[in-house]
Structure 1
């Protein structure tokens, strides 16, 4: 990866839905997708305002004829072209994800989708079955999982270096929405409106991130039951929560907690995952993403650094620069987009054997995120009771 050599025979012909002018997440998608020449941006429906979207697309060097007023028109017109799009990224509010993703899969187009994938397990099941039926890739942008030391943690846990896993402590608790910022910020306003955001705010918006990281680190750890309590400290956000606590029991006897919050005053991100075993513990903090803290009982703590030869091969595979140089969010997203492209290329060649063992945040990752949110909301809305994980 450090050499940046061509990995695919040709780039994936790619389009975006949403992510237009003023969209921070849209810029992240484009920067990540285009970095390794694995994707080529050839079309888009960038904005609900067709003229504004066309102007924006032209400024991205997309042909005016391929800057469409909406995704339905884009799918119809691109299907007529020999060089039509092969993949699309969905960077729109949550409430649109299901309909757009479903339409793309029905049109034979690979998908990269923002999370949450949809609002209900029923919808997620429909998507998963459709993707499997049409042999298409659905990638979900759990962007932090592109940080390489997450995969070092996975190998260390897999190899028994922590011993028996006992506790998983997860949090993503920032303070940027500790007041009603949505009154003056459209990009926040839709996130606290159930019509657009779905059944939760912080559980889906931030809580699923550390949860997914724990699933990458410990893919065999399954939740047995959970209990959730959620609050709307900014009252106008009710019934959606801006703070939530979740306690989970795993099938192997371990316990886990998630604190998801937008009202942790003074905190920048506050996303941490700490895994505690019978021998040692690991901790990762997204504000220092190139370091993994490893603590063996009775010995001095170790800080494992990204890019160093003492790491496992899985943690070195996606390095873009040598150890000591900081890599950040854009590189992590680029790692995911490179993996999305490789998976799409394999699917196009019908190389199912390769895809069996190739990791990327896939449709199942999106499904599990929706499932977790649904169970948390069910617990909280029934008086914060324990519920079996369904």
Structure 2
């Protein structure tokens, strides 16, 4: 059980780029990072408007002289301080991720970046090479992966409780953009603009979340080929899709299916993952994140609950309160952030085996997400055909 004890020897001096006033995702980054005394927010370039950024930083008790006008000034000025930042989180629109991540790594900083990491596989591989060369952590915020029942599912599958894996069904299909809401909402508008969002909308923004959950649960599976069909039901969003279907063939004959949509009218969130084996199936739904449905063929369905003694020890490791009390997305992000801090601390100490032992969405997860989206777009643009995964 976690009782709020510090996991790292000293809090990592940390800054944010973006995440200022009106940023919902900025708040969850700060709440998660600060919860376990793993990070200390000491600087930032919070807003495109420097004055508004300084005012926002003051409300977070960041010294005015450490609230910078832009990320370039932030990195340069902090590098000159003995107490300068060690890490930065990037909570800006997609189109800026590559440039800011590259600049941060070149400045010798650890990086936590919103997904997608960048727009192209070539850019992703450049960031991977740079992170390896500079010996820095580059982490990606697949925030649902910190839920305890995802770890429980991984352990059950590894222990053979489902039998031979046959199928993986994934979805992230909400209905909040079933109309052209972006016309009156700037925070949504950039997500459907290729200049800022990149080559996809729901494939990159939504689908990569359950895709990464499948990678956590089933690390042995490798995609061999896929087929993608994508649609723009709100026509003003074209060429970006607001609905997509993806079929995947994995090594060993395992099949996968993923549905991503922002136009599933009436759905609140609709993120689910179901893993089907020869003996049993598991299903997790992010609207009921404290439960894991376990169905053995020929037996009544079982609902496994977070925090209970019958779970695997690695799943109970991140309990923040006893079973029966609900935990949610902020706890999941907090679990990721304290692991990010442990990975950064281990990286600084040259303890690379310790880094590898931590299950976190690192640079490989970021690269794989970009690779997957790129292949989906390629398949769809060729007329929804099977393409070899590369």
Q: Give your verdict on TM over 0.5.
A: yes
Q: CA deviation at 1:350?
A: 1.1
8 A contact 2:90–2:114 mirrored in 1: yes
Alignment of 1:89-100 (within 5 A): 89-100=89-100
Match of 2:138? 138
8 A contact 2:306–2:324 mirrored in 1: yes
Q: Secondary structure at the match of 2:118?
A: coil
Does residue 1:330 correspond to 2:330, yes or no? yes
Match of 2:309? 309
- CA shift digits 1:307-350 (9 cap, x unpaired): 11100011111111111000000000000000000000111111
Q: Secondary structure at the match of 1:318?
A: coil
TM-score between the two structures when normalised by the length of structure 2: 0.99
Match of 2:219? 219
Unaligned 5+ segments in structure 1 are none
CA–CA separation in structure 1 for the residues paired with 2:355 and 2:16: 24
8 A contact 2:7–2:338 mirrored in 1: no
CA–CA separation in structure 2 for the residues paired with 1:43 and 1:270: 36
The number of residues matched between the two structures is 390
CA–CA separation in structure 1 for the residues paired with 2:313 and 2:135: 30
Q: Secondary structure at the match of 2:309?
A: coil
Alignment of 1:101-120 (within 5 A): 101-120=101-120
Unaligned 5+ segments in structure 2 are none
Q: CA deviation at 1:246?
A: 0.2
CA–CA separation in structure 1 for the residues paired with 2:114 and 2:247: 26
CA–CA separation in structure 2 for the residues paired with 1:24 and 1:5: 27
Match of 1:160? 160
Match of 1:294? 294
Q: CA deviation at 1:219?
A: 0.3
Match of 2:191? 191
Does residue 1:129 correspond to 2:103, yes or no? no
Alignment of 1:162-177 (within 5 A): 162-177=162-177
- CA shift digits 1:226-254 (9 cap, x unpaired): 00000000000000000000000011101
- CA shift digits 1:125-154 (9 cap, x unpaired): 000011111111111100000000101100
Match of 2:279? 279
- CA shift digits 1:130-182 (9 cap, x unpaired): 11111111111000000001011001111110011111000000000000000
Q: CA deviation at 1:12?
A: 0.2
Q: CA deviation at 1:354?
A: 1.0
Could you say what the CA RMSD is over the residues aligned between the two structures, in angstroms? 0.6
Q: Secondary structure at the match of 1:252?
A: helix
Match of 1:151? 151
Alignment of 1:258-269 (within 5 A): 258-269=258-269
Worse overlay, 131-140 or 90-99: 131-140
- CA shift digits 1:12-56 (9 cap, x unpaired): 000000000000000000000000110000000000000000100
Q: Secondary structure at the match of 1:176?
A: coil
Does residue 1:204 correspond to 2:180, yes or no? no
Alignment of 1:26-45 (within 5 A): 26-45=26-45
CA–CA separation in structure 1 for the residues paired with 2:6 and 2:26: 24
CA–CA separation in structure 1 for the residues paired with 2:319 and 2:245: 34
Match of 2:349? 349
Q: Secondary structure at the match of 1:293?
A: strand
Match of 2:374? 374
CA–CA separation in structure 2 for the residues paired with 1:179 and 1:325: 36
Alignment of 1:31-70 (within 5 A): 31-70=31-70
8 A contact 2:2–2:317 mirrored in 1: no
CA–CA separation in structure 1 for the residues paired with 2:115 and 2:278: 34
Q: CA deviation at 1:2?
A: 2.2
Q: Secondary structure at the match of 1:366?
A: helix
TM-score between the two structures when normalised by the length of structure 1: 0.99
CA–CA separation in structure 2 for the residues paired with 1:243 and 1:278: 31
Q: CA deviation at 1:356?
A: 2.2
CA–CA separation in structure 1 for the residues paired with 2:314 and 2:365: 19
CA–CA separation in structure 2 for the residues paired with 1:364 and 1:196: 23
- CA shift digits 1:48-71 (9 cap, x unpaired): 000000100011100000000000
CA–CA separation in structure 2 for the residues paired with 1:59 and 1:301: 49
